[in-house]
Chains A and B, each alone.
Chain A
Amino acid sequence: MPTTTPTPGLDLDAIREFGPYLQYARDIRVDTGVEPDRLVKTHCCFCGQQCGMQLKVKGNTVVGVEPWYDFPFNRGMMCPKGIKRYLQQSHPDRLLHAYKKDPSAPSGFSEMPYDEAIRRVADEIDRIQREYGNDAFAILSGASLTTEKTYLMGKFAHMALKTANIDYNGRLCMVSAAAGNKKSFGVDRAANPWGDILGAEVVWISGANVAECAPITTNYVWQAREQGAKVIVADPRITPIARTCDLFLPVKPGRDTALFNGVLHLMIEHDWLDHDFIENHTVGFDAVAEEVSKWTPALTAEVTGVAEKSIQQAAEWWGQASTSFLMHARGIEHHSRGVQNVMSAINIVLASGRIGRENCGYGTITGQANGQGGREHGQKCDQLPGGRDLGNPEHRAYVAGVWGMDPDDLPQPGVDAYEIMRKAHSGEIKGLLSICFNPVVSLPDNNFVREALDKLEFFVAIDFFMSATSRYADVVLPGSLQEEDEGTVTQLEGRVIKINQVVDCPGEARRDWEIIQDIAKALGRERGLTFSGPREMFEELRIASKGYTNDYSGITWEGVEDNYGVFWPCPAETPEGVPLPGPQGTVRLFEPGSWNPIAKGAGPFYFPDGKARFNVTEYVGPTEDVDADYPVILTTGRVVSQFLSGNQTRRIGPLLDHYPEPKIEMHPRLAAKLGIRDGDWATAESRRGNCTLRASVVKTIRPDTVFIPYHWAGRKSANQLTISAQDPISKIPEYKVCAVRVSKAEAPPEYADQLQPQQ
């Protein structure tokens, strides 16, 4: 039902009722001396590092945090988000009831009984699918859910709803890395445990604001440096990890492939290559050598904006090292050529031959809590459990066998998250269920996204806080926080770990998987969706993932508990004569002589011939480059105290106080040109929208680039400006480059005196 939408972010009555408001420790306890009833070992609910921590519980309230010194990845270390996450559990903004859209209520919503809400959701799904076909109802899921829940979401979509259209918010996060890894190695996982960073002679970090987005990784990098590593950082900004690095490459946003091609060019020119490795374990080197032959230092410098001498220095260190570790993150992946960027990075790793050995590594830094596990077991639009393909008849047959259904009843691959929005906008998709995803804040060109949501006939959101997206829903179901359920997640090293339940859901709120199963039951389609809990889901997932790349069949919850996690692949059975992985699973991928179900012993890589692939990476610039009308590059990213769309972290007082509102960061030279001083209101305008924020004038950013963190909603949202250009392979949006013009604002923006900083 189209309604008139208030100005984005200025629906003040909804904000008044649902927040975000700030919670502080003093709101939940009189003093810190409260003796907790118990400490529960679990993991952070935020980023992909999944730091181990203990939560203090008093009654049914989380009252604090205590380091968990024994967990090997972080040994007690935490970033501010992990330390303060406990403040979300008893938060006043917490949704305790189901809500329905109610235009007569000031906030636009009124409470409704849970059972009635489930009934209505089921009726609408049924109506829409009967009227317009199965694919007219779509699902958006998320990578912060436990692996069991992501498995359930995939099964719910593909088996109960039989809709092709399920996708997840990892589409904005890990898909370029995943696709690049699949094309180069045949498997998608960080190749090494983080311990391999120590002992590397060169640590190369491209497009990763490690200190702010993966803080604990900093200690690994600093420790590597203590042991003699040279640290190379490529980034348009001098982030805290770059401030003291040995070589800083101020790459212009969108030019990463050119940089890696230029480095490979020099490696070939100086013969800094591992010929044996290239000969015996890879395919396609010659074509790549041909492609990079034109990438002379002069051309590379011209395109990337990095000095020739620096490019030469980087190639010299990288080329001559005997051990190394290369990491990258969204900085090179959020591009319309993101997969290309990833493959060009892997090319310099393969040419060096430094992979599959101790201290010789490569890894993409996973973003979301379960960014790794969440992209493996069937909630991606073209995927089935175990990393299998929905379009592959053999794979369909296997999974359909596990689920007890006819493979022909499985839908064909659907479309990606942004395409779901486009189809909603064009009227092809009529209904949507969303969980663990806040597309109004996190998708690019979000004015378009708002229009799309407005056009849906029925939209149901499962949420624990009323997000900017849920405010568009017809029905909101109260789901669970991470601390109210149990299950496994897979962190950035590929280690499967256990999230433990700390407290029970409050009020009418339910664990997410119960809500999904309740909907299935109300639809009369509960076959295969009657799990007693996450453990039973995991047992089925073990079978469903068996025999393919992401094999969890040999992993048990006990094994995970006993070994501080188990690394996949961990098959339960291997052919005669092939040893099973140890209790910790496969800690390091691609070790010489290792077996995998694709190569079947032919070699360490996950292709039938066991060889890795060099991929030709032709440099193509960003989709929207600067021009006379829009002369400045906009890039977006994160700050350390906030996470993703901010739906959780913008409600936590101490985190918000650290960095209260988004700023537009620019170099003094650009600021001087524009007559903007530090602290002035400045407007950035793209072809899609505009945004007025205070300026932060700092020398730590390229003068041709401005930066805005994307954690805020409404008129403070950076994604009003970004472009919905996508990578043709991974469909990741190009958050890291678009063209804007920047000017000094005449007056403070409309929101300035109406909203609190977090709103």
Chain B
Amino acid sequence: MPVPATLEFFIDPARCIGCQACVQACAECDTHRGQSMIQLDYVDRAHSTQTVPVVCMHCDSPTCAEVCPADAIKRTEDGVVHSARKPRCIACNNCVLACPFGVPKMNTEMQLMMKCNMCYDRTSVGLKPMCASVCPSQALAFGTREEMARLRPSARPVNTFQFGAQTITTKVNMMVPADDGPDWVDVTAAMHEPTIGHQMLDDIFDDDVFGGDGFIDLLNDDPADA
């Protein structure tokens, strides 16, 4: 049974809290043999808690399949791009290198490329994929376009991406803000200036926030003397 065409996948990194529930749940799905097929990383932890989950975007014309010399990567009629087929895969890594989203993983032990296949065991029988089932912030969501439009008026789905000269259309949608929101970067920026919008000043910290003898003065200049 194919994945119903009305059900789509939506990713909204703005909602992501980095909890890794998706990564942990991915490993619980039978479709990819208990391996987690999701990358979830901080973009730049020193400056922000922003994290981004990467699942397969399930391209209409999958680059991974296009570069496969063994014709091992298949896209089913319902638009899901599957892991390499074991009898065909030659573990050459072409797909790993070519995917613009960095999705396929080479399982060196099995000599097999594995990737997110939208939990086909689940989605092909009408269930949500594991990651979108569990995601506590619903940064990963699975439902109808209408449902998403109703629930999330402040974001819009995008499924066309530009990589240099290559235009890619995907089955999976990325939610982008309908307008720009604030973006917290540094606590100190919230200490003096109104913390609204993008007026983020990175270095406006001074001692008088902490009263007369600010804590900075109390720190020994040379920690070795402490």
Contact = CB atoms under 8 A, between A and B. Distances in A.
Interface of A: 25-26, 29, 31-33, 64-65, 67, 69, 74, 76-80, 82-84, 211-212, 215-216, 218-219, 222-223, 225-226, 236-250, 302, 305-307, 309-310, 313, 626-628, 631-632, 640-641, 654-655, 658, 667-670, 673-675, 678, 696-704, 741, 743-744
A310 B190 contact: yes
B133 A80 contact: no
B21 A226 contact: no
A226 B17 contact: no
Given A26-B34, A83-B134, A244-B14, A32 B21 contact: no
A25 B137 contact: no
B178 to A, nearest CB: 11
Interface stretch (B77-85, B100-108, B166-174, B208-216): B208-216
B215 A699 contact: no
B128 interface: yes
**Minimum-distance CB pairs A-B, first 4:** A211-B17, A215-B136, A631-B218, A240-B17
Considering residues A65, A79, A241, which has the most beta carbons from chain B within 10 angstroms of its beta carbon?
A79
Interface string B191-204: 11111100000000
Contact of A307 (B15, B29, B195): B195
Given A77-B134, A77-B138, A700-B48, A31 B28 contact: no
Interface in B22-68: 23-25, 27-30, 33-34, 45-51
B165 interface: no
Given A219-B138, A223-B151, A703 B187 contact: yes
Contact of A658 (B20, B186, B194): B20
Contact of A673 (B15, B50, B194, B219): B219
17 contacts: A25-B28, A67-B128, A67-B133, A212-B17, A216-B136, A218-B17, A238-B49, A244-B184, A247-B195, A305-B209, A306-B191, A628-B218, A640-B17, A673-B221, A699-B186, A704-B210, A704-B215
A371 B139 CA distance: 28
Contacts of A668: 46
Interface residues on B, range: 35 or more
A211 B19 contact: yes
Contacts of A704: 210, 215
B195 A218 contact: no
B218 A627 contact: yes
B205 interface: yes
B20 A222 contact: no
Interface of B: 14-21, 23-25, 27-30, 33-34, 45-51, 128, 130, 133-138, 151-154, 181-188, 190-196, 205, 209-211, 215-216, 218-219, 221, 223-224, 226
B183 to A, nearest CB: 7
Contacts of A626: 215, 218
A76 B127 CA distance: 11
Contacts of A641: 19-20
A3 B42 CA distance: 47
Contact of B34 (A32, A655, A697): A32
A231 B24 CA distance: 29
B184 to A, nearest CB: 5
Considering residues B24, B45, B153, B191, which has the most beta carbons from chain A within 10 angstroms of its beta carbon?
B24
Contact of B181 (A26, A218, A223, A244): A244
B19 A212 contact: yes
A246 B190 CA distance: 12
Contacts of A32: 28-30, 33-34
Contacts of B14: 244
A703 B218 CA distance: 13
A148 to B, nearest CB: 29
B24 A83 contact: yes
A699 B201 CA distance: 12
Contacts of A64: 28
A560 B110 CA distance: 48
Nearest to B50: A243
A668 B44 CA distance: 14
Nearest to A67: B133
Contacts of A74: 136
A413 to B, nearest CB: 39
Contact of B133 (A69, A627, A655): A69
Contacts of B196: 246-247, 313
A698 B27 CA distance: 30
A658 B51 CA distance: 13
A634 B45 CA distance: 21
Given A310-B190, A700-B187, A77 B205 contact: no
A698 B134 contact: no
Given A67-B133, A699-B186, A222 B138 contact: yes
A673 B216 contact: yes
Given A211-B17, A226-B152, A246-B182, 15 more contacts: A31-B34, A32-B28, A77-B138, A83-B21, A212-B19, A222-B137, A243-B49, A243-B184, A250-B190, A307-B190, A307-B191, A307-B193, A631-B219, A678-B46, A743-B223
A236 B184 CA distance: 13
